[in-house]
Chain A
Amino acid sequence: MQAQTLSPPRSSHWQDTLERILPKIVLAPSFVICVVFFYGFIIWTAIMSMTPSRMLPRYEFVGIEQYVSLFANDRWWLALKNLAIFGGLFIVLCLAMGLLLAILLDQRVRAEGFIRSIFLYPLALSFIVTGTAWKWILDPSIGLQKVLNDLGWTSFVFDWIKAPDMAIYTVVIAGIWQSSGFVMALFLAGLRGIDDSIIKAAKIDGASMPTIYRRIILPSLRPVFFSSFMILAHIAIKSFDLVMALTGGGPGFSTDLPATFMYTYAFTRNQIGLGAASATVMLGIVLAVIVPFMYSELRSGRNG
């Protein structure tokens, strides 16, 4: 329901004037927040990324020098590569898992509400708590490997979390555990929103359930795919807490992500300029994902 713009008549009565500007006054703090603390700060960080700042900000312009050293930094490349691996797997598997769970739950299962709350509760937890729990579960000396060893399968090895080239996959495992419930909730809502009569018409037309899923249901879930993708991508790019708790960035810095890289360099290594540059690149990555999405949303119009 679109709200009609109430434009009260201009009046010289001071009370009415107050009435006219009161909405703007109310919005003012948030306006300041938006302008200063969102967009202003982004610009500030971008400016800092073009300065040679180290421990304290020094406002001299050095152009893209920091970006050059950023991209000459092996650790940064590793972080980007990890982001691609983690992000890609995280998004795809969360979508698959979430969709699968949603379809399962939609089959008129008993105690659906209870089961749904089991899938969803991980979202109520901090990434730190999640990271801590999985850190020990994946630890070879007391976790999964030891369990299976103790049960008799003595040759089972699962020490990914200690192996530099496999550790990033443990982040994927923990991440999916945390976030797939959310995707499931979105898909379930989407499935429930599909008009039953379309399904019935398809059945009368003689289509089998797999075909119905493929040709009718999945296509109509497109908007949910898109929003989930956007949100998951956003979570992946921002991932910091999970890595810090699960691996601390290690072993060494083999599970570094851009977010942990930025934190380390800006706040522990006193390289503010470089940190700012990495932050701005992260922003660029986020925009590269969001902007096309927003654009396609606006173009396809609002069709409910």
Chain B
Amino acid sequence: MGALSVRKVRKSYAGVEILKGIDIDIEQGEFLILVGPSGCGKSTLLSMIAGLEEITSGDVFIADRRVNDLSPKDRDIAMVFQSYALYPSMTVRQNISFGLEIRKMPQAEREAAVDRVAQILQIGHLLDRRPSQLSGGQRQRVAMGRAIARDPALFLFDEPLSNLDAKLRVEMRTEIKLLHKRLGTTIVYVTHDQIEAMTLGDKIAVMKAGEVQQFGTPGDIYRNPANLFVAGFMGSPSMNFITAKVCESGSGLGLEMESGGERFVFPAVNGEGLAAWKGREVIVGIRPEQITEVVDSHGDDPRVVRQSLPIELSEPTGPDTLLLVHINGAKVTCRVCPDFASVPGEKMPLMFDLTKVVYFDPATEQRIQ
């Protein structure tokens, strides 16, 4: 076992099952992300790891110790909250050293810890202020400082960046990542923002309706989503889903497409598992960045096809322009270079890189391997 082990953990409250059996293992020093939409149970799971909520069944191990029956203060954890939860009547210094004081750490050691933390987070000049006198970003740092000062086995973050404005959020994200690198601590981080999940995590647990939909590295989850939900949840703008019938095409299988009245067939790249689906419909998943303007770098690769489609909408974001087309009745977003983008109403030659396409069973929403 490593730094944190969650084994078959379930949670029921008032007859409703909130968590339906969670299994997660991470090693010392890893950054685990729990990500998912509101109500998926990620915050509840975090509370149970922290000891703030009772575990209905299953076990939680922190640093190889079974902590089910331990109160939060005995679990060697620290937590950073979405609203920072700084003690309003105390100064920053007192806020940081409160937990140490409760544990009867001698004053000299406490002061040393506060200074160390202040240096790491650069909040030395704020030590004598009250929380009400700090900005959002400063409060966030103090909240982290309070956690760091305790030097725990496990850090828990509960959507810490949600209350910050967009720009500050990006800055703090980088700071947290640098902090993790520097301190080498084990972190469990809850967020609903999949960008935070992708950029910060070593391991990601994508959750929905009380279950872990997929557990793996960011790259894993991005390239090989286990089901429709994970595929659509991670990545922004999200993956395009096109329902298409599998047919015969040349020496292999193809996918029937139609757009603007015109029919065409794409080769079913990596579609060995589709043999059983001939004649039936599957859901094809292709990410916007795989649909671009025509460039020459792919040469004659048969897995990269070209097709001209009528453009319906154009959304310039600065670095790219997102174009909206319809294929098989589904909205499909393409990411093109702004210099090459066509105007809505025109037809534009697009290039589809099908090497990374994934297929899903329409009924079970699971990935077809």
Point out the residues of chain A lying under 8 angstroms from B68, CB to CB.
Answer: 9
Within 8 Å of chain A (Cβ to Cβ): is B27? no
Of the 9-residue stretches B49-57, B168-176, B262-270, B343-351, which lies at the interface with chain A?
B49-57
Point out the residues of chain A lying under 8 angstroms from B71, CB to CB.
Answer: 8-9, 11, 13, 16, 19
A138-151: CB near B (< 8 Å → 1, else 0) gives 00000000000000
Number of A-B contacts (CB under 8 A): 25
Within 8 Å of chain A (Cβ to Cβ): is B25? no
Expressed in whole angstroms, the minimum distance between the Cβ of B299 and any Cβ of chain A is 59
Point out the residues of chain A lying under 8 angstroms from B53, CB to CB.
Answer: 6-7
Docked complex Cα distance between A168 and B135 (Å): 62
Within 8 Å of chain A (Cβ to Cβ): is B102? no
Interface size on B, residues (CB 8 A): 10
Within 8 Å of chain A (Cβ to Cβ): is B64? no
Docked complex Cα distance between A11 and B51 (Å): 11
Within 8 Å of chain A (Cβ to Cβ): is B166? no
* A11 x B69 contact (CB < 8 A): yes
Closest residue to B51 on the A side, CB-wise? Answer: A9
Expressed in whole angstroms, the minimum distance between the Cβ of A115 and any Cβ of chain B is 33
Judged by DSSP, the binding face of B is loop
Within 8 Å of chain B (Cβ to Cβ): is A208? no
B54's contact among A7, A16, A19, by CB below 8 Å, is which?
Answer: A7
Point out the residues of chain A lying under 8 angstroms from B69, CB to CB.
Answer: 9-12
* B54 x A11 contact (CB < 8 A): no
Point out the residues of chain B lying under 8 angstroms from A7, CB to CB.
Answer: 53-54
B70's contact among A6, A9, A19, by CB below 8 Å, is which?
Answer: A9
Expressed in whole angstroms, the minimum distance between the Cβ of A203 and any Cβ of chain B is 35
Expressed in whole angstroms, the minimum distance between the Cβ of A2 and any Cβ of chain B is 14
Closest residue to A15 on the B side, CB-wise? Answer: B71
Closest residue to A8 on the B side, CB-wise? Answer: B71
**Counting chain A CB atoms within 10 Å of each CB, which of B52, B68, B71 scores highest?**
B71
Docked complex Cα distance between A9 and B72 (Å): 9
A1-33: CB near B (< 8 Å → 1, else 0) gives 000001111111100100100000000000000
* A10 x B70 contact (CB < 8 A): no
Docked complex Cα distance between A95 and B70 (Å): 57
Expressed in whole angstroms, the minimum distance between the Cβ of B263 and any Cβ of chain A is 52
Docked complex Cα distance between A11 and B68 (Å): 9
Point out the residues of chain B lying under 8 angstroms from A19, CB to CB.
Answer: 71
Point out the residues of chain B lying under 8 angstroms from A10, CB to CB.
Answer: 54, 69
Docked complex Cα distance between A16 and B69 (Å): 10
* B contact set with A: CB distance below 8 Å: 51-55, 68-72
25 contacts between A and B (CB under 8 A): A6-B52, A6-B53, A7-B53, A7-B54, A8-B51, A8-B52, A8-B54, A8-B71, A8-B72, A9-B51, A9-B54, A9-B55, A9-B68, A9-B69, A9-B70, A9-B71, A10-B54, A10-B69, A11-B69, A11-B70, A11-B71, A12-B69, A13-B71, A16-B71, A19-B71
Q: A8-B54, A11-B70 are in contact. List 19 more A-B contacts (CB 8 A).
A: A7-B54, A8-B51, A8-B52, A8-B71, A8-B72, A9-B51, A9-B54, A9-B55, A9-B68, A9-B69, A9-B70, A10-B54, A10-B69, A11-B69, A11-B71, A12-B69, A13-B71, A16-B71, A19-B71
